[in-house]
Structure 1
Amino acid sequence: MSNSNAEERPRRHSSTHHPSLSSLPEEIVLRCLALVPRIYHVSVSLVSKQLRSLVLSPELNGLRSIRNKKSLHVCLRKGYNDVHWFTLRPSEETETATEYRLVPNPTPFPPHPNHGSSTVVVGSKIFFIGGYREPSSDLWILDTRSGNMTQGPSMSVPRAKNEAAVGVIDGKIYVIGGGGFAPERFQEEIQVEVFDLNSETWELAGMENVRKTSRCSASVEGKVYMVEYEEINVYSPRERMVRMVSQRLSEGGRKDVLNDSAFIVCVVEDVLFAFFSKSGVMWFNTKLNVWRRLLGRDGKELPFVLHANEMAEYDDGRLVVLYTVSKSVRCVVVSLHRSGDMICGTIDWSGVLGTVRHSFDFLHCLAVSD
């Protein structure tokens, strides 16, 4: 009897079938791959020849563009109130790359009093929070599909852009600080207010003992990251507290204090990127809490890291860097690839998006769902 049982066990084990992607129809595999962030495509392509072929296929690019359809809205200002909205569009395709241009936004956007205020995007709506140079408690909501601008409920504390951190987590907009620096307003400057997108109401989330301004902030992995000079702080809604997580720059196993200042941040497929005045484009490793340079796949620095006015995520998980030279708007489109704990970039296109007659300022560069 024992011999009989021993013979049955291998038969039951050998009959077990473990399905894999290769056993599925190609159409289903493509739909699965369309859900994988573009940044992981290099790693996926190493699994098998079939997956490598599908990752490079135009069919996958078509499915991703449908699923992740977004437009890059760019707001330029000439003078004080002369504001113009543009959209980044591919203009033509050459043998080596797709050309891009800035075209006037097809939907005319009405003016609103605080063009340069803090902004966050939720779906197809842009939320303008507080004031630009002067504190304001206003909330304005722009529906980019219809072009309608509506005023939302006011915050309890007036806030200015360069003094407040903003982020979106789980259907709520978090605004941290920004109430001013006068001693009598100490409690206001460290207040955390939350706007619930469903109920369209503000509520107080807590008070924080942080007196630094937060020029650069973004939401990553369910937290609001605030990039400051020589350090990075993070606000966790679950813990309801701000804490410093890093002052370090990691390169080749060497860790140093990052003696540099960032003035632009963005998130591409849940990875935080920042442009530093001396170090250029870097990304933040949230597991190790260190900054790392964005290098090419050959391990060398990308040649475009000289200047940046705006950065944003493009519709298929690429990084777009905009900057000005004289009266022209220039752009670099970078594909991102993750391999293990490293992220590297490949320049897909670099060129001039357009020119203007007069000098101008960048106010916003926002990826908005179509």
Structure 2
Amino acid sequence: MSNSNADEPPENYSTHPPPPPSLSSLPDEIVLRCLALVPRSYDLSLSWVSKHLRALVRSPELNKLRSNLHKKSLYVCLGEKGSDSTVKWLTLRPVEKTYRLVPNPTPFTPPHPLKKGSLTVAVGSKIFFLGGGSREPSSDLWILDTRSGNMTQGPSMSVPRAGRCAAAGVIDGKIYVMGGGEFQGEVKVEVFDPKSETWELAGAENVRNVEGKVYMVEYEKTSVYNPRGSEGEQLVQIVSERLERGGRKEKLKDGVDRVCVVEDVLFAFFQRSGLLWFDTKLNVWRRLVVRGDGKEMFIFHADAVVEYDGKLAVLYMWGESEVDGVVTKSVRCKLVSVHRGGDRMCGTIDWSGVVGTVPDSFDFLHCLAVSD
């Protein structure tokens, strides 16, 4: 005999299936390990999900996990003045409680000279050299594999570009190249896909990826390019040649030398004003403040600025010394942790010191953080 209650659903049974488990139901330790595998470019979107997730995204524990999972090496290329062929590749390495520039573990043998002022960008373990030197337009693309040390030539761009006036940024693994050429009317943006090794024109132009957009920083002008924006709203010039001082906005009267992005924040080194960060809400350049006392942080020396394991690395050459008739310069480095404190950006110098010495005739050519 069959049970008449066998086919009846239990009490409080819902015809809808139970909701799938969410990250909020997991311990923080597991959530942090999941977040460590997500690229930093998604941090802003994740912080909008909930206050709890926002706190985890900004936590020092997540930065520590990411630094252990995603190791990066800081490659520095130095070149002799007046020579495009004499170059040295060095790597910044931790040595006990300090840092040193050491010979690159994999010898690089580029088959073509790396010109001063040429445009470079890193994607994964590869370095891409785009266009020509400071004032020599070229459509060339060269690709350096830092793991093997091999340099190969990639497909050419459609527009010859000079590195000094051009700019590049990476969004979703693709390289956007702008400016640096002779144009009639609209400035052309080309996009390179490293996976398929193909170029295509994107539409309209020193650029960096911030909040999913590309920023171009020029003398007395900053523009923003949104590759996901609607037609006619992709390239917008914004009033950003101003520095906020004591509640006032004063016009910046000097040019920009170096640009980089750390923790989704745009940093630039200006020739007279020093290191500044760009407030995308107020469209003004601002100084870092020292954590704790709130005083402004002044950094007035930089030959290179780059993101290195979630920190801002500032490198510069300083002083001269003569030993046995040989004149050398010291290469110094500051590693700065940056984090938001309300509407301000706070900075802490975690380490500062001399990382090496070079002949007086050498200058910085390139400085990039590359995934191992």
Question: TM-score normalised by the shorter chain: which range applies?
Answer: 0.7 to 0.9
1:67 positional shift: 2.2
CA-to-aligned-CA distance 1:180-237 (integer Å, 9 cap, x gap)? 4xxxxx429932222222322222223x5xxxxx8x2222222221112222112222
1:142 counterpart = 2:139: no
CA distance in 2, matches of 1:73, 1:115: 16
Distance 1:325 1:225, change over 3 A: same
Q: 1:302 aligns with which of 288, 297, 303?
A: 297
The equivalent of 1:191 in structure 2 is 188
**Structure 1 residue runs of 4+, over 6 Å off?**
18-21
Tell me the secondary structure at the aligned position of residue 153 of structure 1: coil
Structure 1: gaps spanning 5 or more residues: 1-17, 94-98, 181-185, 209-213
Match of 1:179 in 2: 181
Structure 1 residues 365, 239: closer, same or farther in 2, change over 3 A?
farther
- Whether 1:113 and 2:113 are equivalent positions in the alignment is yes
The residue that corresponds to 2:159 in the other structure is: 157
Contact 2:289–2:344 (8 Å) recurs in 1? no
Instruction: Name 1:13's counterpart in structure 2.
Output: none
What secondary structure is seen at the aligned counterpart in 2 of 1:273? strand
- Aligned pair in 2 of structure 1 residues 61, 166: CA closer, same or farther (>3 Å)? closer
Match of 1:249 in 2: 243
Instruction: Write the deviation string for residues 273-331 of structure 1: whole angstroms up to 9, x where unpaired.
Output: 0011121111111222221111211221335x12110001111x111100111311001
TM-aligned CA deviation for residue 56 of structure 1? 6.5
TM-score, reference length from structure 1: 0.78
User: What is the DSSP-based 3-state SS (H/G/I as helix, E as strand, rest coil) of the residue aligned with 1:334?
Assistant: strand
Q: Deviations over 1:134-190 (max 9, x none)?
A: 11110001111111211101112211111212112223222112114xxxxx42993
Partner SS for 1:175: strand
Q: Deviations over 1:64-101 (max 9, x none)?
A: 322231111111112412111111111112xxxxx111
- Tell me the equivalent position of 1:69: 71
Structure 2 unaligned blocks of 5 or more: 1-20, 320-328
* 1:354 aligned to which of 340, 353, 356: 356
Q: 1:365 maps to which residue?
A: 367
**Equivalent residues, number:** 322
User: Do the aligned residues in 2 keep the contact of 1:266 with 1:273 (CA within 8 Å)?
Assistant: yes
- Is 1:271 equivalent to 2:250 in the alignment? no
Q: Counterparts of 2:215 and 2:192 in 1: how far apart (Å)?
A: 18
Q: The residue matched to 1:300 in structure 2 has which SS?
A: coil
3-state SS in 2 of match to 1:63? helix
Q: What secondary structure does 2:367 align onto? A: strand
Structure 1 residues 138 and 288: alpha-carbon distance in aligned structure 2, compared to 1, 3 A threshold: same
Hey, what does 2:217 align to over in structure 1? 227
Tell me if structure 1 keeps the 8 A contact 2:261–2:267: yes
Is the counterpart of residue 324 in structure 1 residue 324 in structure 2?
no
Q: Is the 8 A contact 1:179 1:188 kept in 2?
A: no
Distance 1:366 1:189, change over 3 A: farther
**Partner Cα separation in structure 1 for residue 284 and residue 78 of structure 2:** 33
Match of 2:322 in 1: none
1:62 Cα offset (Å): 5.3
Counterpart Cα distance in 1 of 2:337 and 2:254: 25
Q: Secondary structure at the match of 1:162?
A: coil
Letter in 1 for 2:336: V
**Matches of 1:204 and 1:61 in 2, distance apart?**
36
Q: Which has the higher helix share?
A: 1
Percentage identity across paired residues of the two chains? 66
* Aligned AA (1:113): P
Larger RCO, structure (CA 8 Å, separation 6 or more): 1
User: Could you tell me whether the CA contact under 8 Å between 1:218 and 1:226 is conserved in 2?
Assistant: yes
